Structure 1
Amino acid sequence: MGDLGGPYDAVVIGSGMSGLVAANLLAMHDRRVLVLEQHHHFGGYLQNFMLHRTPFDSGCHYVGGMGEGQVFDRYLRYLGVRDALSVERLDEDGFDVLDYPDWSFAIPMGYARLEARLVERFPHEAAGIRRFLAEVRQEVLQFPMYTLAAAEDPMGRSLDPDRTVADVLDACGLRDLRVREILSAYRALYFVPTHEASFAMHAFVFDSFVQGAYAFHGGGNAVMKALVARLRAQGGVARRRVRVTAVDVDDHRRVRGVHTADGAYVEAPLVIAAIDPKVAVSLLPDHAVRPAYRHRVERLRPGIGGLGAYLRVDADLSRLRGTNHFLQPSREGEDPLFSQAWLEAGTPPPVFVTATSTREPGWRGPHTVVVLSGMRADAFARWADTRTGARGADYEALKAELGARMLAPVRALIPELDTHLVTADFSTPLTHRDYTLNGGGAIYGIHHDMRQSAGRGVSWRTRVQGFLLSGHSVLYPGLIGAMISAFYSCGEVLGLRQLFEEVRAA
């Protein structure tokens, strides 16, 4: 492991988007920072992983708001990493395609283009469509840390969601199921049904992609490398394969440092835990927090876990370069993504399909295709106490059977799978749990319903002086949500107003 050094002004546990942004913010403001990552790669869901000597994206398949002057672009410029990143704009005329058995719809960039296409296709819902899009644009104005518009309170109403997505769809008088499906399609990017998801969360996810959808050349790995390099250039330290086992807290509930699995002790008066809140709170001694708080965090409902297929296809897939596809079974009754009825029925699940290698300049070899769906970890309960690579033949058989079901609808989109599929590997919620320590293998953290999202389930603040939480379970999911949560956490130390104005001025 080597000497971790110290003392530090702050220790950040976890090196996903939130952890790396938090560490950079502190380093930018002259704090000596140490990032500790338990995995052998930095990045969390930013990182790429290798299969058959081929890189695959783990979570950062595309992003919104990366056009010049848009929200993500502005934040990355402030952090000093934007110029180190190369991006590709996806197809303006249809970057996300929703494919149902008997209809499809390509989502274009820009509100004017989206409204025109929707109204032309569904003229009987024109008034409701216009109202819904206006509601989205109005809602994001309540979130100054997202819009970066001048505001007295940088938080605005981002922590006070009061409507679900279904509430707004109903209020707009939208009855055509196809229109409701299109306008709520991005529930698949946070895994919460419309009657539970806050409209505030949905609006900022929706808005960021309609502004402009992009892919990073090199995937999320490029973002991770840029943030780690920037941190080190500012004097910060980042170490892998170091698992924090306890946070040292004195009798006055003040942080003193952290203990690691290798027996090291690192002194620091500030610890930001950018990890699953349940894991974070488990690191605290009994006297540090009240039993009621510990119990509340332990009872947080985890989000839906990830089910993935990672394919290498030796064929020309350039037609998929600018688009992603959401392949949906027929919508009759409850949303299959959340009912999990497909498990019992033996049918394919809804899946997201992206061919990320088609966007990589100079790519050589078979193309990579990532297929993702959501699945609760309950189906794998019998293997809950096992680790990746040691779960036995029954687990591998179930994984292969689920993988085959995932690929069934993909074969219509990519018929080359029948003759040019080189390799196919699959992941389950347990895979995600082992690599990220997220409860239930949840790829978006806790279940972001109205009761738990936007800091309602767990705040970044705690009663322990010098112990803060961060990450996609604390505010909203996704790269932008995780990034802004780091600003909220660091704002407790550096002043959120100061950080807000610095980003706006950058």
Structure 2
Amino acid sequence: MTQQKKVIIIGSGLGGLSCGAILAKNGYDVTVLEQGVQVGGCLQCFSRRGAKFETGMHFIGSAAHGQTLDKLMRYLEIDKTVTLSQLDPQGYDVVALGEKKYAFANGREAFLKQMTEYFPSQHDNLVRYYDLIEEIANASSLHSLKYADSDSPLNMEYQLRSINAVIEEVITDPLLAKVLVGNLPLYAAEKDKTPFATHAFIMDFYNQSAFRVKGGSDSIATALMGTINRYGGEVLTRKKVTRIICDDTHAVGVEVNGKDTLPCDIIISDAHPMRTLELLDTKLIRPAFRKRINHIPQTVGGFSVYLHFKEKTVPYLNYNYYGYQGDTPWDCERYSPESWPKGFLYMHFCPEGDTQYASTGVILSYMQMADVEQWKGTKVGRRGQDYEDFKREKAERLIDVLEEHFPNIRTQIQNYYTSTPLTYLDYTGTEGGSMYGNAKDISLGSACRVPQRTKVPNLYLTGQNINSHGMLGVLVGTIVTCSELLTAKTIYEQIKEANE
């Protein structure tokens, strides 16, 4: 156990809270600083007129007993306070392309059987595809939680090959190749750019098992706060870090709310890397590094319509539904005012009690920051009537599209609320209102990578931009960051011990 060193963590998203939990468990004196009134980042929920809505973490995977996320939840000591509800194992994801719907079943054999029924001539190719997915996932020590000094060269190869190039090489039916990427909104992949490894990790994660969090994803944030508190740490809200204070050699503390100074030994930032660099005025960070970080492309933003249904009118949907206006899930981020939305993701909130009927749900579609750029710099709730009209027009159009897939759904909606890329920017600080932060582009290679270690010796980064977004992606990034202080081997041994 290390001596008590003071750690300040900037931001209370999943990355910040999970880093805080691990370090507090290992004897560090942890303080998490959150600028808002509510902790959790994309784990946050909000309520309107008695209805509750999730903002980002709508479902998770690999959480069945003994699977990767289950092991991590036990290690973080949140498995007993976070209650999960499994999505339909025979079809946790449903992709609608053309006139047909395709269900994704959990588990290797069920997945292959289901897809072969849709595409009988592709059985052998589907086996090759699934073998490759499993091989890539298992080759990653972080995703498989099997300690290794370095990852297999296999992962490096598929970090440099695009999703569509690999799938089209393995799958000879063009329609099946499109169906297999029907869940693109989960990671905002782009054709010819996003690495196949990203697709492989996400498919493996959810194909093992898929769950929603009963009562809302904010229970994950509450549980992680509980772990931090049990080990002597604290999470403080309304504490905006306005500067990271450095001397000639390292960081010595942070300035909070523009006036108070908090000294510390170590700083971990869960903020977007660009936001973190804005807090630093030191020669330790070279201009070339700032330039590289500032030029990493971002994933597309999102427009969400949060639906409050009339009581007992909408049966609970125990799966996620992906709908497309055209014949492909690709290029939905490239639209004209007339063609928007090209696709959408539709999900229901899982209540704590009875799940016969849904109380709330969400429709999510891509939206570029350029669409709302004219209101950038305005404050929440004070953007003007033209902004409200813009949101209403987009929401009505998105509900019209949903109605084509779920007839009469409009008559079952009591109220709805919206968010745009500006909302993401205001509440999460992601550059350009991006849904998932930094994008991965095979043409840029390592230039897209954000290191967990900075040139300020005691300043580290964590969160979705270190590895990937989503619960597993962020927790993998947490392990990478905390390994700088504890070593990876120590963390793997602790995870193993927590699951014995």
What is the TM-score with the length of structure 2 in the denominator?
0.94
Is 1:255 matched with 2:251? Answer: yes
Residue 77 of structure 1, aligned match among 74, 78, 81: 74
Change (3 A) 1:156 1:260: farther
Q: Output aligned runs, 1:460-475, within 5 Å.
A: 460-475=452-467
Q: Output aligned runs, 1:325-474, within 5 Å.
A: 325-331=321-327, 335-339=330-334, 341=335, 343-357=336-350, 359-362=351-354, 367-450=359-442, 456-474=448-466
Residue 287 of structure 1, aligned match among 277, 283, 307: 283
Q: Distance in 1 between matches of 2:70 and 2:403?
A: 36
Correspondence for 1:302: 298
The letter for the 1-side match of 2:112 is: E
Q: Distance in 2 between matches of 1:364 and 1:112?
A: 29
Query: 1:86-112, CA deviations, whole angstroms, 9 ceiling, x for partnerless residues?
Result: 111111111111112311101111111
SS of 1:390's equivalent in the other structure is: coil
What is the TM-score with the length of structure 1 in the denominator?
0.93
Change (3 A) 1:135 1:305: same
The letter for the 2-side match of 1:312 is: H
Larger deviation, residues 221-230 vs 494-503: 494-503
The letter for the 2-side match of 1:279 is: R
Query: 1:340-399, CA deviations, whole angstroms, 9 ceiling, x for partnerless residues?
Result: x2x332443311111114x53147997101111111101111111212211111111111
Larger deviation, residues 316-325 vs 48-57: 316-325
How far 1:170 sits from its partner (Å)? Answer: 2.4
Q: Distance in 2 between matches of 1:150 and 1:262?
A: 43
Correspondence for 1:47: 44
Q: CA RMSD in A?
A: 2.2
Change (3 A) 1:132 1:384: same
Q: Distance in 1 between matches of 2:109 and 2:446?
A: 29
Change (3 A) 1:150 1:385: closer
Query: 1:193-238, CA deviations, whole angstroms, 9 ceiling, x for partnerless residues?
Result: 2421111121111001110001111221111110011111110010
Residue 140 of structure 2, aligned match among 112, 119, 143: 143
Residue 26 of structure 2, aligned match among 22, 26, 29: 29
Q: Distance in 2 between matches of 1:455 and 1:479?
A: 24
Larger deviation, residues 176-185 vs 274-283: 176-185
How far 1:120 sits from its partner (Å)? Answer: 2.1
Q: Distance in 1 between matches of 2:25 and 2:217?
A: 22
Q: Output aligned runs, 1:158-307, within 5 Å.
A: 161-172=159-170, 174-252=171-249, 254-307=250-303
- Is the 1:78–1:503 contact (alpha carbons within 8 Å) kept by the matching residues of 2? yes
> Which blocks of at least 5 consecutive residues in structure 2 are unaligned?
none
- Is the 2:315–2:356 contact (alpha carbons within 8 Å) kept by the matching residues of 1? no
Q: Distance in 2 between matches of 1:407 and 1:8?
A: 52
How far 1:449 sits from its partner (Å)? Answer: 2.6
- How many residues align? The count is 494
> Which blocks of at least 5 consecutive residues in structure 1 are unaligned?
1-6
Q: Distance in 2 between matches of 1:336 and 1:397?
A: 27
SS of 1:33's equivalent in the other structure is: strand
SS of 1:210's equivalent in the other structure is: helix
